[in-house]
Structure formats: C-alpha cells, structure tokens
Amino acid sequence: MTVLASIRDLTVTYRRDGSEVAALKNIILDIQPGERLAIIGESGSGKSTLALAIAGLLPASARIEGSIDWFMRSPPTLGAKAPPSGRIEGGGKDRLSLNRHNQASLGGRDIGFVFQDPSASLDPVMAVGKQIAEVARTHLGLTWAQAYAKAKTLLERVRLPDPDSALHAFPHQLSGGQKQRVAIAAAIAAGPKLLIADEATSALDTIVQAEIVALIRRLVAEDGMTLLFISHDIALAAELAERIAVFRHGELVEFGKTEQIVEAPTQAYTRALLDAHIDLDAEPLLHRSRLNA
C-alpha cells in the first residue's frame, strides 16, 4: 500500500478562556502520494485545524492526540537529509513553525502552504521576486543569482504578466489574483511534495477563482505534487479533487471518490451541501467547463 501520510485517531482540542473546543475528533485518513484530495465542510468544521495539524503548525495551546505517520522520500534537494519516513505524535515535540515564506519543513519533508489571504503571507515591503528567491535560497541552498533565476521561472510558471518587471513589484502593486499567484510561486519554490491550499481561492471573484484553481491543477500535475485542497465549496472541490473528505463538527462524516460523493453521497449532510450548491448554481457539478491556467 502506498501512502504519503497516515493519520490515525487524530483529535485536536483548543483551549481558550478556560474552556475546551474539540476541533477534530478521532480522524482516520490516508493521503495517497500524487492525489488531489479535497477537505470540505462548513465554517468551523475543523478543516484548517486538519491542515495545520498535517503541516505541524498548530499553536502550542492545542492538545493533539493520535498520530500522523509520513512515508515521504525527501525531495532531491541540497541539504535534504531527512529520513524517508517520520512520525508526529500527540504532544508534538516535533512541532514546527511556519516561516513567512509559507514553507513548513519537518526534517526536510517540505510542505507548501497557500492561505486565503495572500497579503498575510507576503511581506508588504519586499519585492515579490526577492520573497520567492529567498525561499529558493534558504531551502534549496542556491546562490542569490540562482535563486532570482528560479524566482523568474516561477513567476513565468504561475503566469504573471511580464515576469521581469514583476520580480521588482511590491505586493500592493498587484491584484488579488496576482498576489495569490505570487503566494503560490513562493509555496512551491522549494519543491514541496505536498501542497496545502486552505481556502486559497475563497477571497477571489468567480472568474479569478477558476483561474487559480486551474493554475493549482496545472502546477500540481507538472511537479507531481500531492494536493490537499481545503474549501467550503463542494462544487469547487469536485472540480479539482479526485477524492473528497467531508467534515462536520470536527468529524470526518464521509470520504470517497469525487464521483461517488457527488452522485451518490451516503450522508444526509453531504446531500445537503450538494443541494445548497444546486440552489445557487444550476450547472452540473462534474461537467463545468475548465478554464486554462
């Protein structure tokens, strides 16, 4: 059996003002290498908590029980000395911090992270080329010249118009969609095996959203990355993912192939999510036209 990460009995409890919030309850989930997996559910269902747990980024105040086992070969990069597999256990002594370049690195097992708000992950006073180059320099051991060359290639790959001048642009000079393209470039700059997009398109209008989804799809295919796509939008998830995991109140209520989830959900809750979508948008879920990235 090939698995990238194996999540077993994962329970996450936040402590706040003396009370406890069970954000995830006994989650059992395997992530397969190279798959596009969507995590869906309404606000507060625990999606971001799962993403943070997977990336090892939960705040210290969170209590973590259960385990996440990794079966990841380190990417063939300079300085990657990680063992081929590893384990994060409840208690999280291995806990890491996310630097401002969206790279979570657990012993070389790099994970790229894209958030809803690109402004939160981009430095407002640093040119975007430098921000991307810094990721490449730090994580791949490149010189500045090599790192800038890589940054330019990445800006081309995320289809920013005029990559040469974009290198010198500051975030405020870019549109929301362009900023998200830069954030994605930074997230993949170190060649992560796993890309986590947490509501990465939710703040964008529908057309830009479709473009960013198409971009993520293309980059994931080109680099052979595994994708964890987090969204409250079942239609968007169905467009992109091969498998969908449905969360509700911190529990994994349904998990299966996209076709099965969309065409024959077993849970009333999934049905309700689908019906809510159909009320809003009559287009069939699985057959919406796909824009080119």
Ligand X SMILES: Nc1ncnc2c1ncn2[C@@H]1O[C@H](COP(=O)(O)OP(=O)(O)OP(=O)(O)O)[C@@H](O)[C@H]1O
Q: What is the contact surface with Ni ion in residues (CB under 5 A)?
A: 47-48
Among 92, 62, 66, CA closest to 6: 66
Angle (nearest 5°) at CA 129 between 123 and 131: 35
Smallest distance from the beta carbon of 111 to ligand X, in angstroms? 17
For ligand X, the binding residues in 125-154 under the rule CB under 6 A are none
| Angstrom distance (rounded) from CA 180 to CA 200 | 8
- CA 15 vs CA 23, 24, 59, 248: distances in Å: 10, 13, 10, 20
Contact partner, 81, from ligand X, Ni ion, none, Cβ < 5-8 Å per class: none
Residue 18 lies near ligand X (rule: CB under 6 A): no
The nearest distance, CB 181 to Ni ion, in angstroms, is: 21
Tell the smallest beta-carbon distance from residue 156 to ligand X (Å).
32
Residue 41 found at the interface with ligand X (CB under 6 A):
yes
Alpha carbons 44 and 23: distance in angstroms, whole number: 8
Distance CA 246, CA 45 (A): 9
Q: Which of 34, 44, 75, 107 binds ligand X (CB under 6 A)?
A: 44
Nearest residue relative to Ni ion (C-beta): 48
Q: Please, what is the minimum distance in Å from the beta carbon of residue 39 to ligand X? A: 8
User: Which tokens is 197 given?
Assistant: 């997009």
- Which helix (H) or strand (E) segment holds residue 209: the answer is helix 206-223
191: partner contacted, choices ligand X, Ni ion, none (Cβ within 5-8 A by kind): none
Tell me whether residue 14 or residue 170 sits nearer to ligand X (CB atom): 14
Distance CA 31, CA 104 (A): 17
- Strand positions, DSSP E, the chain: 5-16, 19-31, 36-40, 62-71, 85-89, 103-106, 109-114, 194-198, 226-231, 243-248, 251-257
Nearer to ligand X (CB atom), residue 219 or residue 246? 246
Q: Give the span between the Cα atoms of 83 and 192, in whole angstroms.
A: 15
Among 1, 16, 97, 292, binds ligand X (CB under 6 A): 16
Nearer to ligand X, 30 or 199 (CB): 199
Instruction: Give 48 or 131: the residue with its C-beta nearer to Ni ion.
Output: 48
Contact stretch for ligand X (CB under 6 A) within 38-46, 101-109, 141-149, 203-211: 38-46
* Residues 45-84, interacting with ligand X (CB under 6 A): 45-49, 59
- Which among 236, 261, 260 has a CA at the least distance from the CA of 246? 261
> By the criterion CB under 6 A, which residues form the site for ligand X?
14, 16, 21, 23, 41, 43-49, 59, 232
